[in-house]
Amino acid sequence: SVLCSPSSPTHLCSPNQSAALFQFKTHFSINQTASKDCEYSYPKAKTTSWKKGTDCCLWDGVSCDNITGEVISLFPPFKSCSPRNLLSLQFSFTASFRPSNSDLIGFQAPGPILKLEKSAVNGIVRNLTKVREIYLDGIDMSSIDPNSFVNLSYSLTSLSLFGCHLRGKLPDNIFKLPNIEYLSLDENSKLTGQFPKSNWSSPLVILSASFTSLSGELPESFGDLKSLAGLDLLSSNFSGSIPRSLGNLLV
């Protein structure tokens, strides 16, 4: 969805942000074998509307603040796949919503449709300083260094990297973003790292890191997450006992 008025006579999107998104687009490659699992013979990438000289606030998958023109949301850049074959579940985040395991029974995803090349995330991190939501579910990021996410926008409230084939150590500062409410790292089996022992982001409501290789003990600092309503660590490598502080949370 786009928050900018299409009748606006001027481009609200800043040149820097437009250039960063266009560069982001150039790092995508299409996995045509995986695309055969779609309802149509070839997936229509949302990024086909991302063209130089046009307002990025009007591009598919991009939402902007209708006053400042700052990019505030970035959604998965593909469509036209059957819902039963989508690599990830897309939903509008609310504090009370949590997909249950039963929602995923019988769900079989195709191979990644889109793949990101190295350094593709850097421009997004550097230029989208006001972005609030990033959903990159199902995009193959196996060549992306998780450290690329070190300097994510402090405005970020939702980050979903479900099934992105991330590998390597995840920087723990992702858990410390001051406004993050929803964080999904599920289905990244080669993603390693540990939860921070302190300085958690207090607004975090949903934390999901199932089927990852995150490890270590669960810290007592979980008790600092007063808004935590959903925690999914199924089939991860955490050890030790459940922190007593979790008993004080409404999970």
Paired sense of beta strands 114-116 and 28-30, if any: antiparallel
Q: Which residues fall within 8 angstroms of residue 56, CB to CB, at 6 or more apart?
A: 11, 13, 17, 18, 21, 22, 50, 62, 64, 71
3-state secondary structure of 21: helix
Residue 249 pLDDT more than 90? no
Comparing 15-24, 45-54, 137-146, 215-224, the range with the smallest average pLDDT is 45-54
Whole-number Å distance between alpha carbons of 183 and 50: 27
Structural domain span for residue 119: 15-248
- Determine, yes or no, domain membership for 4: no
- Determine, yes or no, domain membership for 53: yes
Give the pLDDT mean for 115-123: 72
Q: Which of 112, 167, 171 is nearest to 137 (CA)?
A: 112
Is residue 163 within 8 Å of residue 109, measured between CB atoms?
A: yes
Q: Would you place residue 175 in the very low, low, confident or very high pLDDT band (cuts 50, 70, 90)? A: very high
- Determine, yes or no, domain membership for 91: yes
- Determine, yes or no, domain membership for 6: no
Q: 100: domain CATH number?
A: 3.80.10.10
- Determine, yes or no, domain membership for 9: no
- Write out the DSSP string of 178-230: TT--EEE--SBTEEE----SS---TT--EEE-TTB--EEEPPGGGGG-TT--E
- Determine, yes or no, domain membership for 173: yes
In sequence order, the β-bridge partners of residue 188 are: 212
Whole-number Å distance between alpha carbons of 9 and 11: 7
Is residue 228 within 8 Å of residue 251, measured between CB atoms?
A: yes
Q: Would you place residue 31 in the very low, low, confident or very high pLDDT band (cuts 50, 70, 90)? A: low
Q: What percent of the chain has pLDDT over 90?
A: 31
pLDDT, one tens digit per residue, over 67-104 is 888 999 988 555 444 333 222 222 222 222 233 333 33
The more confident residue out of 211 and 35 is 211
Q: What is the pLDDT of residue 242?
A: 85
Residue 174 pLDDT more than 90? yes
Domain count along the chain: 1
- Determine, yes or no, domain membership for 199: yes
- Determine, yes or no, domain membership for 83: yes
Region of residue 69 (left: phi > 0; alpha: psi -120 to 50; beta: else) = left
Q: Would you place residue 7 in the very low, low, confident or very high pLDDT band (cuts 50, 70, 90)? A: very low
pLDDT, one tens digit per residue, over 186-236 is 999 999 999 998 888 779 999 999 999 999 999 988 888 889 989 999 999
Predicted TM-score of the model (pTM): 0.71
Is residue 124 within 8 Å of residue 150, measured between CB atoms?
A: no
